[in-house]
Homo-oligomer: A and B are copies of this chain.
Amino acid sequence: MNSHGMKLGWLGVAVACGLTAAAQAQRSNGPLTIASQGSFFVGGEKKQLPQPPAGTPGAAFGGGEIMIHQMYVQYQIPSRGNRHVPVVMVHGCCLSSKTWETTPDGRMGWNEYFLRRDRSVYLADQVSRGRSGFDSTVIGAVKRGEQPPSALPDVLAASHQVAWTVFRFGPRFGEAFPDEQFPIEAVDELYKQMIPDLNALLPTPNPTWTNMAALAKQLGGAVLMGHSESGFFPEQAALLDASGIRGMISIEQPCAELNEAQIAKLAPIPTLMVFGDHLDGVPGSFVNWQTSADSCQTFVDKVNAAGGDATMMHLPKLGIRGNSHMLMQDKNSDEIADLVLEWIDQHVER
C-alpha cells in the first residue's frame, strides 16, 4: 500500500490497491475472496415410525416422523463464480466430502483449488453418509427383537489393509509402488476419513442420484463429478433427469453396461473418465481396476459412436505416472485438477 501522497493514474491506483496481487493471491495460497457460502439440503422425505412398546429401547423418544434420504450440500461461490459452470463433487465408498478438502499431507484440496479457479463448488455428502445422515430404524427394530439380525445392513467399513490395495498405494499392505503419488507418509490422515458406508440401506434408484439431478437443475446447470462408488453417479443422475447436467466427470469406477436408449440419453452431455496408474498392479485385490477402466472405455466408445463427446483420460497415457485411486489427494493433485479444469473449459464451456 502506498502511504505517501503522490500523483497516481488508474494503473497507479490499481497497483497501490494490489489488484494484481489479489488476483495472484486468489489463484495461490493467498487470501481468498468469496462472494457467498453456506449449506443446504436437497431432497428428503418423511417416514412414519411406530411407537416402540414401553420399556423397550427407543421408547422414551417415541414414534413419529423422521426425515430420510436428504442430501447435505456445502457450497462456496467465488467472486468471479458467474464466469463458469458450477461443479458438484461427490465422494466415494467409506468416505465423506472430506475427500475433496485439505489433503492428508495438508495441501489444498480440489474444493479450494477449483474455487480459486473461479468455479462455484458444491460438496455433497452421499445420502446415508456424513452430515446427510441415514435411516437407523432397522437398528432399533433388531435390538427390540421386531426384526431378525439378518435385517441389519451390510456395513462397508473398509480396513486400512483393504484401502491400501484397493486405493492402489502399492502391491501389498505397507509396501508402496516406487513411483507412488499418494502421500504415503500421511496415510493415517486418510484412514481417519474412512467412515462406515450404509448405502446397503438405500432403495433403488439411489436417492443420491435423484438429488444430484435435482441439484444440477436447481443450480441452473452444473458439472457433476463422482469418484469410485459415486463415479458413475453423474451418469445415473442424468438417466433420471439430464436437464440440469452440463457435464459429467467420472473418476475411477466401473461403468455400467447401458442400452442404446440410455446411451442416446447421455450422448448430448460431455463426459470425462479419469483413471490413474497401476490399474493391474495389485494382484488379488478386492477390486480389479483394469476391468473397470475397460468397461469405461467401452462406454466412451459407445457414447462417441452415438455422436457424443466422451473422453477417456488414462493418466499414464499422458505421461503422468504413479497416481493412486485417491488421485485428488495425490502429490500431483493440482496437475490433475488443471487437466480436469481444461477439459471443462474445452468440452463443457467451449
Q: Would you give the shortest CB distance from A83 to chain B, in whole angstroms?
A: 15
Given the interface pairs A31-B34, A196-B134, the reply to whether A140 lies near B112 with Cβ below 8 Å is no
Q: Give every chain B residue within 8 A of A74 (Cβ-Cβ).
A: 101
Q: Which residue of B lies closest to A142 (CB)?
A: B149
The answer, among B34, B125, B132, B157, for a CB contact under 8 Å with A66, is B157
Task: Determine whether A159 belongs to the interface, using a CB cutoff of 8 Å to chain B.
Answer: yes
- The answer to whether A160 and B98 have CB atoms under 8 Å apart is no
- The answer to whether B5 and A66 have CB atoms under 8 Å apart is no
List CB contacts (< 8 Å) of A10-65 with chain B.
10, 12-14, 16-18, 29, 31-41, 44, 46, 49, 57-58, 60-65
- The answer to whether B37 and A159 have CB atoms under 8 Å apart is no
The answer, among B66, B79, B195, for a CB contact under 8 Å with A31, is B79
Task: Determine whether A189 belongs to the interface, using a CB cutoff of 8 Å to chain B.
Answer: yes
Q: Give every chain B residue within 8 A of A195 (Cβ-Cβ).
A: 131-134
The answer, among B37, B143, B160, B189, for a CB contact under 8 Å with A150, is B143
- The answer to whether A64 and B161 have CB atoms under 8 Å apart is yes
- The answer to whether A6 and B5 have CB atoms under 8 Å apart is no
Task: Determine whether A114 belongs to the interface, using a CB cutoff of 8 Å to chain B.
Answer: no
Task: Determine whether A154 belongs to the interface, using a CB cutoff of 8 Å to chain B.
Answer: yes
Bound-state Cα–Cα, A49 to B38, Å: 38
Task: Determine whether A2 belongs to the interface, using a CB cutoff of 8 Å to chain B.
Answer: yes
Task: Determine whether A340 belongs to the interface, using a CB cutoff of 8 Å to chain B.
Answer: no
List CB contacts (< 8 Å) of A168-220 with chain B.
188-189, 191-196
Task: Determine whether A153 belongs to the interface, using a CB cutoff of 8 Å to chain B.
Answer: yes
Q: Would you give the shortest CB distance from A79 to chain B, in whole angstroms?
A: 6
Q: Would you give the shortest CB distance from A93 to chain B, in whole angstroms?
A: 10
Q: Give every chain B residue within 8 A of A144 (Cβ-Cβ).
A: 149
Task: Determine whether A70 belongs to the interface, using a CB cutoff of 8 Å to chain B.
Answer: yes
The answer, among B1, B109, B194, for a CB contact under 8 Å with A67, is B194
Task: Determine whether A136 belongs to the interface, using a CB cutoff of 8 Å to chain B.
Answer: yes
Interface residues as binary, A94-120 with B (CB distance below 8 Å gives 1, 0 otherwise): 001110011000101100100000000
Task: Determine whether A319 belongs to the interface, using a CB cutoff of 8 Å to chain B.
Answer: no
The answer, among B29, B102, B133, for a CB contact under 8 Å with A39, is B102
Q: Would you give the shortest CB distance from A225 to chain B, in whole angstroms?
A: 18
Q: Give every chain B residue within 8 A of A152 (Cβ-Cβ).
A: 139, 142-143
Task: Determine whether A158 belongs to the interface, using a CB cutoff of 8 Å to chain B.
Answer: yes
Task: Determine whether A8 belongs to the interface, using a CB cutoff of 8 Å to chain B.
Answer: yes
User: Counting chain B CB atoms within 10 Å of each CB, which of A46, A66, A194 scores highest?
Assistant: A66
Q: Which residue of B lies closest to A107 (CB)?
A: B38
By Cβ-Cβ distance, the 9 closest A-B pairs, closest first, are A133-B195, A64-B159, A64-B161, A38-B102, A136-B196, A17-B17, A41-B192, A5-B9, A70-B192
Chain A interface residues toward B at CB < 8 A: 1-10, 12-14, 16-18, 29, 31-41, 44, 46, 49, 57-58, 60-67, 70, 72, 74, 79, 96-98, 101-102, 106, 108-109, 112, 125, 130-134, 136-137, 139-140, 142-145, 149-150, 152-162, 188-189, 191-196, 286
